[in-house]
Amino acid sequence: MIKNVFTGANLSKIIHQISFHPDARANIFLGLSPEVRATVLLRLTRHIQHDLLSKIFDNELVVTLEQLDPDEATDIVQVLPLGRQKRIIERLSDELRKGVQILVKFDPETAAGLVNLDYIQVDEFDSIAQVANQFKMHEKKTGRLPAIIALRGGRVSGYVPGHELGFAHPAEKVKKYVRKIATVRQDASHEDVIKVFKDYPHNKIVVIGERGNVFGIIYSDDVLRIIEDQESASLYDFAGVHDEESVSDTTKMKVKFRYQWLIINLGTAFLAAFTVSLFDQTISKYVLLAVYMPIVAGMGGNAATQTLAVLVRGIALKQIELKTAWRTLVSEAGAGFVNGLINGIIVALIVYFFNHDLKMALVLSLAMVTNLVVAGIFGTLVPLIMQRLGKDPATSATIFITTATDVLGFLVFLGLATMILA
């Protein structure tokens, strides 16, 4: 509904100023036109939205929300405390208030939280003239063009492309122009919605209520936004970063979001350090071992991350689970062995060239092969086990896999050194 009056550099500049100047945030925002405020508000991160909305009066917020569609306005309203939500909704225009009152009741993580209410319902045996009249009434009332959902016996049978109203004869029945459309239940998860769009590629799907009634429409741009959010969340999960963190956060907030993960990693680092300490005599005798230890651990970590990325994607696409993992496990372990041989030969040649130590080259190459096999095995099993336990495989698996490649990598490398170099 809103028009992007500011685009590109101008819009980015406004968002940057609001994000990084908290003291002037409200004044900058209120200096914009209502249309631009609405555009900017949707682009801000969740916690900045919360801070900004707490600094502006109800009447200023209402004027801004009136520029939005009901689903967009609902997203903003849900940022507010419950008491203020009720106050704001009551002050909205009749049409917008009705839409927000419906949508705000539902979980934003379900299909109901994604719906657009710009649709009309027609019977297959209605005439084109009747539908065109209903279409015009909706557009006049809301200022937005509706989707046309066709019903047969009270159930969804498809949709009618809007352009057909301009070409069909007014007396013709709608049935002739009905096209199939996918449906999804209102309580379906975002993952289910994405799957429906993949299975039935189209620019929209119909959301069905508990009684089989039409609840709303989901457009492809909303699904693309979900996919983008999930991709960002996956990247944050791999890095151990809170999904609410953004580049505009203060030092205090960044510390709050990150310190717990870093403390956990500190604990695993001490475990790796303890493993190394078991071979202090070997290291003191062969100081060159300390130079090459990071290579073993680093290569194992990189290989494990590659395997983890493939497994997490496979889990998300429902291509694999623990009981069907055997062939993937063998494949990943085999890939680790071959890659270990390739990299082991390379590192052995480098070590022998620079240090002229055949035994050291052998130790490093064997450790490389072993650690890459370990990376393949743990990179496959750990995320699947985490999924079986009901945990996020991306977030929870990373720390266990890193610990395994570090600890076992050092154990194998220094253990072989103790046996071969002694």
Q: Who's near 397: CB < 8 A, 6+ residues apart?
A: 308, 312, 382, 383, 386
Quick one: CA torsion of 349, 350, 354, 357, rounded to 10 degrees? -50
- Quick one: pLDDT at residue 2? 44
**In 3D, which of 405, 412, 415 has the Cα closest to residue 300?**
405
Quick one: CA torsion of 160, 164, 168, 172, rounded to 10 degrees? 10
Q: What angle do CA 338, 341, 344 make, to 5 degrees?
A: 145
- Quick one: pLDDT at residue 140? 86
Which domains does the chain carry?
Answer: 8-105 (1.25.60.10), 114-222 (3.10.580.10), 251-421 (1.10.357.20)
User: What digits encode the pLDDT tens for the residues 308-345?
Assistant: 888 888 887 778 888 888 999 999 999 999 999 999 99
pTM over 0.85: no
The β-bridge partners of 219 are 204
Q: Who's near 134: CB < 8 A, 6+ residues apart?
A: 120, 122
The overall longest dimension of the chain from CA atoms, in Å, is: 96
Q: What angle do CA 252, 257, 263 make, to 5 degrees?
A: 105
pLDDT averaged over 10-residue windows placed end to end, the chain, 422 residues: 52 86 90 91 86 93 92 90 93 90 85 87 93 91 88 90 89 92 89 83 84 86 74 54 58 74 81 90 88 88 88 80 90 95 94 91 94 93 86 72 87 91 76
- DSSP, collapsed to helix, strand or coil, labels residue 188 as coil
Fill in the amino acid letter for 150: A
Q: Who's near 196: CB < 8 A, 6+ residues apart?
A: 182, 184, 188, 205
Q: Who's near 379: CB < 8 A, 6+ residues apart?
A: 303, 304, 305, 306, 307, 308, 311, 332, 401
